[in-house]
Amino acid sequence: PVGAHRLQGTARPLQSRCFIECFSPGFTSEDCHHASSSSSALSEALALEALALLENVQLPLSRAAGVNLLDSLYVLTMPGPSSASEARPEALSRRSLLDVAVEGRVRIAIPLLRLRKMHLELLDVLSFEDVIRVDDEDGVAAYLEAGMCPDCRANAGRPVLMVAAAVKAGKVLQLLLAHGANVHQRSGFGGWTGLMWAAHVGWLEGCQAMLAAGACCADLNDQGVAAAQVAARQGHTEVAIFLAANL
């Protein structure tokens, strides 16, 4: 794998075999390569090699390509004097390898990079909101796997679940709910819930999904208005009737 040419010593089974089995369904220990260890390589060189590896991943990955990628990253990010996680070459001056993996949707690498104590440094809740708005399920999954909270607040203090409801992002809404997003969170202004936003835009499926997750039709915003009334005021009769029936 990439990076193996830098390593010297007695060959041993690479410890990424157990990592692959735990975090990558479909990959088995028989797929793993062997490598040896050394601390002679420069940290900056390893960091740049890991960066190039992540930036040049061609998705979707085959089984063999996925194993090669994890094997290589396991070696290149090994803690110690040659640790890529401690290096800060110019190419990584404002972002971490985890940022690169999330941007590239290289989700198979995210658990390993988090195991190496890496964090998102450049990507934040505003970029997270951007992928939510376009209903990018894979992108949102990458952010969540990298440690982004499903209850974080985006622009104007709105919880990201509320953003998904406001733009009718169906795949992302279900994903956020599956990750435990709190349907009872309120907006920073007006005290709205995600259910109220789904009602406001006339999104029946979104209302149904949030009710199934425990949202309450009886909740009132700061103006004393419930979700059914919000829908009715916007002319969404079907949604208003549905919500009123679930009070």
Its pTM stands at 0.82
User: Which residues have CB under 8 Å from 8's CB, separation 6+?
Assistant: 36, 38, 40
Per-residue pLDDT tens over the stretch 72-105 = 999 888 876 544 444 466 667 678 999 999 999 9
pLDDT at 8: 33
Q: For residue 147, give every residue at least 6 positions away whose Cβ sits within 8 Å of its Cβ, in sequence order, or none.
A: 114, 119, 120
At 214 the pLDDT is 97
d(CA 83, CA 49): 12
pLDDT of residue 178: 98
At 91 the pLDDT is 62
pLDDT on residue 45: 79
Question: What residue ranges do the domains of the chain occupy?
Answer: 4-115, 155-245
Pairwise CA distance, residues 180 & 37, whole Å: 40
Is the pLDDT score of 12 beyond 70? no
Residue 121 has which token pair? 């440094």
Q: Which pLDDT tens digit goes with each residue over 40-80? A: 333 677 888 999 999 999 999 999 999 999 999 998 888 76
Q: Where are the beta strands (DSSP E) in 4-78?
A: 12-13, 34-35
Please report the DSSP string for 68-106 in residue order: HHHHHHHHHT-SSTT-GGG---GGGSS--HHHHHHHTT-
Q: Which CATH number fits domain 155-245: 1.25.40.20, 2.60.40.1180, 2.40.128.50, 3.40.640.10?
A: 1.25.40.20
Residue 213 or residue 15, greater confidence = 213
Using the predicted structure, report yes or no on whether residue 235 has a pLDDT greater than 90: yes
- The per-residue pLDDT for range 115-167, each reduced to its tens digit, is 999 999 999 999 999 999 999 999 999 999 999 999 999 988 899 999 999 99
Checking if the pLDDT of 33 tops 50, the result is: no
Query: What is the largest distance, in Å, between two alpha-carbon atoms of the chain?
Result: 73
155-197 pLDDT, tens digit per residue, is: 888 999 999 999 999 999 999 999 999 999 999 889 999 999 9
Is residue 213 predicted with pLDDT exceeding 70? Answer: yes
| Coil, strand or helix at 182 | coil
